[in-house]
C-alpha cells in the first residue's frame, strides 16, 4: 500500500510539475514587466494569436506544432518547454528526496524550487529578481521551520534556519554596502541580498555557506570561460552579469544534496 501511495505521488508531481512549469513561463515573462499574471490569456508575441487550451498542453503542444505558432509560424523559444521539463524533474526530485519526511515537506520544497526557477530566468533575462518569488522561497522556508517543530520537516532545525537567514542577509548586505561606499558602485543587486536571506531560511546556515561557495565557484568558472572565448576572438558583452542564477543553482544543490556534501566534507577531517 505504501508503494501505491508513493507511485501516485510521483505521477501527480510529474503532471502537476509540467502544468506549473507552464505557468512559470508566464511569471518569468510578466512579473519583471509588471503585467497582470492572469490576464490577458497567453498569446503569440508576434501576431497576437490567443492560445487555445490544446496549444497550451505542456511539452506535447510544442512537439505537435514543431516549435512554431499555429497562426503565423513564428518560432517559439525552446526555453518555454525547457522550463516545463525542468520544473517537472525538480518536483519529481522533491518527492524522491523528501517523501520520507512527509508530504508537507515535499509541497514546501516544490514551491521553493519553482520560485528558484523563476528567479533564475528573470535575472538572466531582465537583471531583476521578483520580490514575490523571494517571498515564496522565504514562506517555504518558514513552513519547513514550523513542520520541523512537529518532526515533519527536512531535518534542519529552526535555529539553523534562522541563522541561515541572518547569515545570508548579513554576508551579502555587507558586500552590497561595502562596494556601494568604498567602490561607489553596485557589485550586487539588493535583490541578491534578499534572495540569499530567503535561501538561508530554506537550507539553513550550513546550506547557505555551501550555496555561496558553489555560486562563487560557478561565477569563477563562467568568467574564465568568457575570458578564454574573448581571447579566441569571440565577442562577448562586457560588465554586468546576473548573479541570482548562480545563487539559485547553488541553492538547489544545497537543498537536495547539502546533507551529503557537508557530511562528506566533514568526514575528510575526522
Residue in 43, 46, 52, 230 binding Zn ion, rule: CB under 5 A:
46
Q: What's the rounded Cα separation, in Å, for the pair 210 and 199? A: 11
| Bridge partners, residue 43, by sequence | 50
Applying CB under 5 A, among 20, 69, 165, 202 the residue interacting with Zn ion is 69
Instruction: Please identify, using beta-carbon distances, which residue of 9 and 71 lies nearer to Zn ion.
Output: 71
Is residue 52 at the binding interface for Zn ion, with CB under 5 A as the rule? Answer: no
Binding-residue pattern over the window 71 to 90 for Zn ion, x denoting contact by CB under 5 A? xx-x----------------
69 vs 169 by CB, closer to Zn ion: 69
Peptide bond into 40 cis (omega under 30): yes
Give the shortest CB-92-to-Zn ion separation in angstroms. Answer: 32
Nearer to Zn ion, 23 or 49 (CB): 49
Which C-beta is closer to Zn ion: that of 69 or that of 210?
A: 69
**What is the four-CA torsion angle of 87, 92, 97, 100, rounded to 10 degrees?**
130
Strands (E), 77-235: none
Q: Which of 11, 37, 47, 266 binds Zn ion (CB under 5 A)?
A: 47
In the bound complex, what is the minimum distance in angstroms from residue 78's beta carbon to Zn ion? 16
Q: Is 68 helix (H, G, I), strand (E, B) or coil?
A: strand
Stretch that binds Zn ion, among 26-34, 50-58, 61-69, 156-164 (CB under 5 A): 61-69
Cα 29 to Cα 41, 147, 255: the distances in Å are 13, 33, 26
DSSP letter at 156 equals -
- Interface residue with Zn ion, options 6, 16, 42, 49 (CB under 5 A): 49
Q: Within 10 A of 89 (CB to CB), how many other CB atoms are there?
A: 15
List of residues 6+ apart from 235 with CB closer than 8 A: none
Of 51 and 111, the one with the shorter C-beta distance to Zn ion is: 51
Alpha helix ranges (H) inside 31-77: 60-64
Distance CA 265, CA 253 (A): 15
By beta-carbon proximity to Zn ion, the closer residue of 69 and 93 is 69
Report, in Å, the least distance between residue 73 CB and Zn ion: 7
Cα Rg of the chain (Å, integer): 20
Q: Which is nearer to Zn ion, 11 or 72 (CB)?
A: 72
Query: How near is the Cβ of 74 to Zn ion at its closest, in Å?
Result: 5
Q: Residues interacting with Zn ion, by CB under 5 A?
A: 44, 46-47, 49, 69, 71-72, 74
Amino acid at each position: 500500500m505504501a508503494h501505491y501511495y508513493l507511485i501516485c505521488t510521483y505521477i501527480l508531481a510529474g503532471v502537476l510539475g509540467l502544468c506549473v512549469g507552464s505557468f512559470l513561463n508566464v511569471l518569468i515573462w510578466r512579473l519583471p514587466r509588471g503585467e497582470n499574471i492572469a490576464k490577458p490569456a497567453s498569446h503569440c508575441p508576434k501576431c497576437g494569436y490567443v492560445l487555445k487550451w490544446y496549444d497550451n498542453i505542456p511539452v506535447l503542444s510544442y512537439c505537435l506544432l514543431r516549435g512554431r505558432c499555429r497562426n503565423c509560424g513564428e518560432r517559439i523559444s525552446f526555453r518555454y518547454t525547457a522550463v516545463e521539463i525542468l520544473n517537472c524533474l525538480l518536483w519529481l526530485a522533491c518527492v524522491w528526496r523528501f517523501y520520507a519526511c512527509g508530504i508537507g515537506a515535499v509541497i514546501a520544497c516544490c514551491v521553493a524550487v519553482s520560485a528558484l526557477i523563476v528567479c533564475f530566468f528573470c535575472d538572466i533575462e531582465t537583471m531583476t529578481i521578483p520580490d514575490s518569488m523571494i517571498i515564496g522561497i522565504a514562506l517555504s522556508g518558514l513552513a519547513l521551520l514550523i513542520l520541523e517543530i512537529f518532526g515533519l520537516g527536512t531535518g534542519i532545525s529552526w535555529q539553523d534556519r534562522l541563522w541561515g537567514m541572518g547569515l545570508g542577509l548579513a554576508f551579502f548586505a555587507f558586500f552590497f554596502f561595502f562596494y556601494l561606499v568604498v567602490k561607489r558602485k553596485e557589485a550586487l543587486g539588493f535583490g541578491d541580498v534578499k534572495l540569499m536571506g530567503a535561501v538561508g531560511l530554506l537550507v539553513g546556515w550550513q546550506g547557505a555557506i555551501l550555496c555561496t561557495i558553489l555560486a562563487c565557484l560557478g561565477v569563477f568558472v563562467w568568467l574564465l570561460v568568457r575570458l578564454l572565448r574573448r581571447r579566441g576572438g569571440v565577442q562577448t558583452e562586457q560588465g554586468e552579469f546576473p548573479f541570482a542564477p548562480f545563487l539559485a543553482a547553488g541553492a538547489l544543490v544545497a537543498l537536495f544534496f547539502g546533507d551529503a556534501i557537508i557530511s562528506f566534507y566533514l568526514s575528510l577531517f575526522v
